[in-house]
Amino acid sequence: MLYCFVRHLTTRLLTGLLTIVALVTITPAQICAQEAPAGFFRTDRINMLVAVIFFSIVVLIYTRWAKQGKPLFIRKINGLDAVEEAVGRATEMGKPVLFIPGLQEIDEIETIAGISILGRVAKITAQYETPLIVPVRYPMVLAAGMEVVEQAYTEAGRQDSYNKDTVRYVAGDQMAFAATVNGMMVREKPAANIFMGAFFAESLLLAETGNAVGSIQIAGTARPEQIPFFIAACDYTLMGEELYAASAYLSHEPLLLGGLKGQDLMKLVIIASIIIGIVLTLFGVQTTFTSWFHQ
């Protein structure tokens, strides 16, 4: 046990040390260059390159450990634990589950995260044979959503229950989308509303209507300006990174959970860097390290 602890600590210290070495070996001239230099590589972005490489290595190490079967502790996320409960409630009430994968195109990472969660939710609704409604704003999201939901029904062995109209294109305009979905909520009275992805001004319109019709509501977004609206109107809210962690969390697959641990370590490095940066700046120490914060 002591051996494991020491090895764990050494690995963490080594990774931290590597970052610091990487930080101090870059010259201030390289970091502070404001315009793209004429060379082949953009040396003004070298700090970002170092961060990307370091981050990738950390995630890969943890993924490898997860693959080897090492136990990884992941904190409880109530909002995600409530997903199955919400679908169960819908099944008992004989009402549908409404899922919205955000209002952005498929090239947005938040939408892809939403689509990933949709796959998990669709598998649960398929098992319980609960109707699922997925209104989307973009045809590309429609195509991806249809594929994911059909696959989920097939994997659950309920392909015969799959309805091609489960995922439906509603409107391209933001407010037209909100109006249509609000109408759906009022008429169909879904037992559970799940909002996962990028939302804008319509977030409160959707969440308040869902609240008014008595649905259990779970929301997740990485947009800080929309989080307060969801907190005020929904039962559970996933904030920022929790949205991206959702598919890994719901899958319970060690390989996916490994990435989350790597992310946590990176956060630790960032927190440590911020604290060191604050202390150095407060004492007026101008180093290569502090100049990273000016970029």
Partner 1 sequence: MRTTLPLILAFISGIIMVVSFFINPEQKVLGDISQELLIWASIIGGFSFLLGAVSITRVNWRSYKTRRPGWGYNLVTIVGVFMMAIPALWPTSWLPESMASLAGRNAGSVYDWFFLYLATPMSQTMFAILAFYIATAAYRAFRARSSQATLLLITASIVMLWRVPMGEALLRVIYDGLPEIINTYIMAGINMSVQRGIIIGAALGAATFSLRILLGIERTYMGKG
What count of other Cβ atoms lies within 10 Å of the Cβ of residue 64? 12
* Closer residue to partner 1 (CB): 4 or 36: 36
* DSSP strands (E only) in 115-182: 132-136, 167-169
- In which region does residue 94 sit, left (phi positive, over 0), alpha (psi from -120 to 50) or beta (all else)? left
7 or 267: CB nearest partner 1: 267
Is-contact 97 90, C-beta < 8 A?
yes
Strand ranges of the sheet holding 216-221, from the earlier edge strand across to the other edge = 167-169, 132-136, 97-100, 192-196, 216-221, 236-239
Q: Which is nearer to partner 1, 113 or 132 (CB)?
A: 113
**CA angle 74-100-127, nearest 5°?**
65
Shortest spacing between CB 6 and partner 1, in angstroms: 27
Give CA–CA dist 55/35, Å, rounded.
Answer: 25
Report the amino acid identity of residue 31. I
CB of 168 to partner 1, least distance (A): 5
Nearer to partner 1, 3 or 231 (CB): 231
Closest to partner 1 by CB, 3 vs 94, is 94
Distance of closest approach, residue 3 Cβ to partner 1, in angstroms:
29
Please report how close the Cβ of residue 243 comes to partner 1 at its closest, in angstroms: 7
Shortest Å, Cβ 235 to partner 1: 12
